[in-house]
């Protein structure tokens, strides 16, 4: 089965989806939608698709759509597409507010259509491998640091920390019972640095740091368990496992000798995370299976974003 896929939004993220979509096995990019005819038309020509200025112009032959428009437009655009009977992959965050996120989940349920949300890091091979081997985390440390860029639409918590809040809560898979946080506004007029300390039911803790005022690009998740320490580098897409042997007292040096074992497992799932994400979405549309990142899961992440902002004493997104 070959499904027809529309890309809604011809900006940076929409262009990436269109590029990756050309390599899909069971889908073809048949439509590009953007109100700017020059930008949308150019992308459509590049990928060999038809151009439409509005989603209401899409033909009935389109089965599903990727919504890659600004966050403020997620609700109206997605609602229109669901009413037209299209399955959706909506870029993260699902919506700006918890209320809007819940509305979209309800609209997809009423329409009987798949609503998947583009938390692309869940499809990063290092994260996939980490999720497969982590069993009982004691503490998780997530760091997402970038250099400052002038064009900023969202605060760093909603923009960057959202990725790691999603990953961390998926790894622990227990309710968050306590949130402490702080944010700093330094260059953009919105929070540019955010740190959150989470405590989960059962005692697991997590520290999540997001910054766009760094001098380096870091995407790293470290997990402490009783017998191992895992470090996932999301940029290099690799995973390192550290294990400590029991220390021995040595009479010769009157000190302790401790050996460290390092394992670098072979990561079976490779490829560009965005391609893996799109392949998963297409398979969900074909099979009717549950997406790895459902609308409900993405809504829970937005709820946690709100708790982080509230704990930091800044203006929380509306509930």
Which pLDDT tens digit goes with each residue over 242-284? 887 655 555 555 555 555 667 666 666 678 999 999 999 999 9
The pLDDT confidence band at residue 125, using thresholds 50, 70 and 90, is: very high
CATH architecture designation of domain 3-119+273-294: 3-Layer(aba) Sandwich (3.40)
DSSP state of 56: G
Cα–Cα dist 194/212, whole Å: 9
Portions of the chain given CATH number 3.40.50.720: 3-119+273-294
- What is the SS3 assignment for 109? helix
- Distance between the two ends of the chain, CA-based, in angstroms? 40
Pick the CATH number of 122-271+302-311 from 3.40.50.300, 3.30.360.10, 2.30.40.10, 3.30.70.260: 3.30.360.10
pLDDT for 264 equals 66
Portions of the chain given CATH number 3.30.360.10: 122-271+302-311
What is the distance, to the nearest Å, from the Cα of residue 100 to the centroid of all Cα atoms in its chain? 18
CB 152 within 8 A of CB 213: no
Going by DSSP bridges, is the β-strand pair 139-145/205-211 parallel, antiparallel, or unpaired? Answer: parallel
Give tens-digit pLDDT for 81-103: 999 999 999 999 999 999 999 99
């Amino acid at each position: 089965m070959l499904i027809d896929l529309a890309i809604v939004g011809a900006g940076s993220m929409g262009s990436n989806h269109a590029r990756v979509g050309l390599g899909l096995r069971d889908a073809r990019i048949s439509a590009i939608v953007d109100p700017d005819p020059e930008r949308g038309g150019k992308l459509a020509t590049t990928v060999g698709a038809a151009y439409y200025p509005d989603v209401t112009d899409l033909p009935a032959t389109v089965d599903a759509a990727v919504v890659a428009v600004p966050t403020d437009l997620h609700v109206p655009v997605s609602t229109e597409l669901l009413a037209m009977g299209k399955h959706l992959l909506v870029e993260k965050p699902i919506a700006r507010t918890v209320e809007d996120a819940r509305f979209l989940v309800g609209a997809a349920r009423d329409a009987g259509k798949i609503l998947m949300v583009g938390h692309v890091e869940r499809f990063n091979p290092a994260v996939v491998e980490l999720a497969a081997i982590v069993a009982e985390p004691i503490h998780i440390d997530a760091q997402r640091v970038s250099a400052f860029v002038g064009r900023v639409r969202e605060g760093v918590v909603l923009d960057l920390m959202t990725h790691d809040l999603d990953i961390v809560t998926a790894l622990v898979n227990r309710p968050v019972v306590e949130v402490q946080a702080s944010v700093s506004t330094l260059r953009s007029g919105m929070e540019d640095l955010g740190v959150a300390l989470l405590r989960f039911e059962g005692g697991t803790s997590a520290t999540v740091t997001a910054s766009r005022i760094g001098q380096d690009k870091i995407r790293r998740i470290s997990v402490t368990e009783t017998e191992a320490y895992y470090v996932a580098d999301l940029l290099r897409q690799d995973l390192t496992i550290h294990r400590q042997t029991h220390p021995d007292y040595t009479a010769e040096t009157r000190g302790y000798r401790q050996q460290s074992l390092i394992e670098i497992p072979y990561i079976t799932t490779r490829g560009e995370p965005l391609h893996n994400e799109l392949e998963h979405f297409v398979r969900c549309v074909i099979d009717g299976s549950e997406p790895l990142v459902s609308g409900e899961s993405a809504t829970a992440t937005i709820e946690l974003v709100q708790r982080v902002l509230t704990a930091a004493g800044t203006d929380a997104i509306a509930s």
